[in-house]
Amino acid sequence: MITSQFDNARDAWNGNETTLTPAVANAGMSQTSYSPLTVDTGDLPSGATSNPIYAQPLYVASIQTSLTGCSPSCNMVIAATLNDTLFAWNADTGALLWSRQGSSGGTPGTVNALWWDDCSGTGSSPATGFTTLPFAGIVSTPVIDYTLSPPAMFLTSLCVPRGSTNQWWLHKIDLTTGHDLSGSPVQITGSVAGSNNADDEASGQIPFEGVRQFQRSALLEVQVSGASPSSLIYVSFGTGISEITSGYHGWVFGYDTSLNQQFAFATTTQGYSASGSPPCCTNCAPCSTAAGCCTGSGCTPGTECCATTCVPMNGSSYYQNSPNWCGHGSGIWMSSRGPAASTLSGTSHAFFGPGNGGFQQNNYNWGESILDFTLSSGGMGTTPAKSFTPYGGVALSPPLGTSNCPNEGSGDCQTTAEVLNLNDWDMATSGILLFTDSSSNNWLVTMDKAGYGYLLRQAQSWSYAFALGDSYNWFPFGAAQTLCPSLPNPAAADCHRTTSLAYFNPSGGTPYLYFWPWKEQLSAYQFSNNSAQTGSGTISASGGTTVTGTGTSFLSTFVPGDMLIAGGCTPSTPGSCPIVTAIASDSSLTINQNLTASGSYSYRGYFINPIYDQHPPANAVGYPGGLLAGTSNGSSSSSAVIWALVAKEVSGSYTSNEAVRTPGVLFAYDTGLNLQWYSSDGFCSSSFALPTAVDGKVFVPTYAIGSGSNVCPTSGSPVTSGVLVYAPTP
């Protein structure tokens, strides 16, 4: 598959790069002679001044075509835009190979924009429907199946027929021509059984409503030999309109490669009832100052209405998301990152992360969770095989929405699904990343918007109500370990917004997870050698902080920062258990506290030993933080580069409005986070769009390109958008 973040593991790492190295980056990168690859403005919606690219550019090596400029083969780079247009170029010359733009075909070899074909010439690329974008046609990153004949690209588009409402379409595009293949496109429709009391939902059925939904997460294709169908295209939806007032849902659709729908699944289907655990209120409307919110009385701001009782919320700064408690919400957006997939023992697993919305432990409402769909030769899972929802050790009592936390900012309270929902701290804001450690254990890692990370074994049974500190199942890192306040330019209040992860496992070294939070600098956590193990042994104590063992393998088991569980300590109590500070030999450890008693021990490892860029950019990183892509020649650390696309601070302030265009910069770091190079060209960042680093080049999607007053205009005549192409300076 050719897909977002390089592969279905979503590790954002290309380990097949032979040209780009730290030394090459340090010597200088510059735009190629044919950069930028520009996209026409086409038939822009009223008021639009550019044709931004939000999807990650996709690179196809050695495609066989008869296209002018590519015969008999060439390397191709493809861009999809917010105006429902597509462009394919020769990645080495910049020659336009084909495009889908305009309403009349345009130049020879082009075909109509997708919105024109989808709406039969009676509509437009939508100018409304997503509150923070001026228009939105193709937002998510497509997926390419190169095994099909001809190779095909699957993508979703949005159009608005005149006099009608938003329609979502799934396309199957011939990469060699740009045209739709037979049977394409199909409109995405469906319904599921459910019980809700919203006005627009028929009794017993919840319909998919295009006007309420938004397709941002990258598409995913999963293949399983012997299964029927043998491949599934997963398409997931969140919302682009108000989370507070809209009765939206999260959706997952499964299609085969012939575009036949195999299943539809909604993340929230249970209405306002007292069933499930925790229970829902009988009325979950947000309160206002008006009398009558609750029967016989009025509620004041900062409370919600549950049955006939006004219930205090968690303080005065909560995100008033109350309508999403029961039977609504739980959209899948994951900062536009794609759902991840892996194959374990012949079964493929597809992982999704619903955000703000209702959660009940009743298999109906799945807000603030991680969901695992399965596909095997024995059948196709159309509902989650298992799920994980953070509880954090806080005992809740009805009604839902209240908490026993005396201070919602305290460590015991940050990770409940209820608190995540109250504060708009969506689960899986970073996307989902999968990796396999040196012991062949398979892991899933994600971060919520509060900066908490969750480390889950893919094959392990998951559940609700894991206790705080249960590091075998999840582990808080990032802001939760006070990393943000410890940095040179702290901004802890917004450090939580991490929207991109990258993972590198170097040969002979220890893996690192890289991330760049909003307003902070590029950071990383080391992944302990023993995180996958639950081993034990016998030790003796000598000299207080020196521990010796017999028949042990300390050198291959531990790294500094690991926890040694010995002497009756409690792992969930901070500071209770000794931490390994040095490993002298296979039979000798140094720890950070005295251990006087001999006996048995076990151990735990985590994401530990944080590192961060010691020389951050002069302007702090704006919303939504650094967007990462890694390259290396195999597992060689000396060849590895972390490429980071960031939006800089604007006028001394930050904004989370994606429609505000901000200057973009591309950075190159080595694995130790030493800055090697950064760009100085004028372009506007495309918010959540990731760069693609491959075959000696870095492809950067933009909102607009220019210099001086033409960079990031807020009004005026149309401006150029496109893909910048960086390569080593000749």
Domain ranges of the chain: 42-272+336-344, 420-529+611-728, 536-605
Q: What are 33's two structure tokens?
A: 């002679």
Average pLDDT value for residue range 166-186: 93
User: What is the rounded distance in angstroms from the CA atom of residue 29 to the CA atom of residue 360?
Assistant: 51
DSSP string, 34-93: T--EEE---SPPTT-------SPPEEEEEEE---TTTSSEEEEEEEE-TTS-EEEEETTT
H helices present in 240-354, as ranges: none
Weakest mean pLDDT among 3-7, 299-303, 460-464, 646-650: 299-303
Q: How large is the C-alpha radius of gyration of the chain?
A: 26
Of 253, 496, 273, 276, whose CA–CA distance to 366 is shortest? 276
User: What is the rounded distance in angstroms from the CA atom of residue 207 to the CA atom of residue 201?
Assistant: 7
Of 519, 523, 424, 532, whose CA–CA distance to 478 is shortest? 523
Residue 350 per-residue DSSP state? E
DSSP string, 431-461: -EEEEE-TT--EEEEEE-TTS-EEEEETTS-
**668 pLDDT higher than 50:** yes
pLDDT of residue 557: 73
Of 521, 381, 530, 504, whose CA–CA distance to 513 is shortest? 504
| Of residues 693 and 556, more confidently modeled | 693
**201 pLDDT higher than 90:** no
pLDDT of residue 78: 98
pLDDT tens digit sequence for 356-403: 887 776 667 888 899 999 888 767 778 888 888 876 433 333 223 333
**96 pLDDT higher than 90:** yes
Q: Which H or E run contains 723?
A: strand 721-728
Residue 405: pLDDT band (50, 70, 90) is very low
Of 214, 133, 216, whose CA–CA distance to 659 is shortest? 133
User: What is the rounded distance in angstroms from the CA atom of residue 330 to the CA atom of residue 304?
Assistant: 19
Number of neighbouring beta carbons within 10 Å of residue 671:
21
pLDDT of residue 481: 35
Q: Helix, strand or coil for residue 485?
A: helix
Give the CB-side neighbour count of residue 310, counting CA atoms within 13 A.
17
pLDDT tens digit sequence for 258-269: 999 999 999 988
**674 pLDDT higher than 70:** yes
pLDDT of residue 413: 43
User: What is the rounded distance in angstroms from the CA atom of residue 80 to the CA atom of residue 93?
Assistant: 19
Q: Round the average pLDDT of the chain to a whole number and report it.
A: 76
pLDDT of residue 144: 98
User: What is the rounded distance in angstroms from the CA atom of residue 114 to the CA atom of residue 636?
Assistant: 43
User: What is the rounded distance in angstroms from the CA atom of residue 333 to the CA atom of residue 216?
Assistant: 6
Rounded to the nearest 5 percent, the helix, strand and coil shares of the chain are 5, 35, 60
Q: The whole model's pTM is what? A: 0.86
User: What is the rounded distance in angstroms from the CA atom of residue 124 to the CA atom of residue 676?
Assistant: 44
pLDDT of residue 599: 81
Of 426, 448, 433, 428, whose CA–CA distance to 502 is shortest? 433
User: What is the rounded distance in angstroms from the CA atom of residue 535 to the CA atom of residue 555?
Assistant: 14
Q: What are 344's two structure tokens?
A: 């374990």
**486 pLDDT higher than 60:** no
Q: Cα 262 vs. chain centroid, distance in angstroms?
A: 25
User: What is the rounded distance in angstroms from the CA atom of residue 715 to the CA atom of residue 132?
Assistant: 16
Tell me how long the chain is: 730
Q: CA-based diameter of the chain, in Å?
A: 83
Residues in a beta bridge with 590? 546, 582
User: What is the rounded distance in angstroms from the CA atom of residue 32 to the CA atom of residue 264?
Assistant: 45
Give the CB-side neighbour count of residue 475, counting CA atoms within 13 A.
21
Q: Phi-psi region for residue 177, left (φ > 0), alpha (ψ -120 to 50) or beta?
A: alpha
The vertex-183 CA angle with 181 and 188, nearest 5°, equals 115
Q: Helix, strand or coil for residue 505?
A: coil
Average pLDDT value for residue range 627-634: 98
Average pLDDT value for residue range 554-560: 75
Give the CB-side neighbour count of residue 324, counting CA atoms within 13 A.
33
Q: Which H or E run contains 114?
A: helix 114-118
Q: What are 133's two structure tokens?
A: 């974008």
pLDDT of residue 288: 42
Q: Do 219 and 154 meet the contact criterion of CB atoms below 8 Å apart?
A: yes
From residue 2, how far is each of 147, 219, 697 by CA, in Å? 10, 11, 17
Residue 201 per-residue DSSP state? S
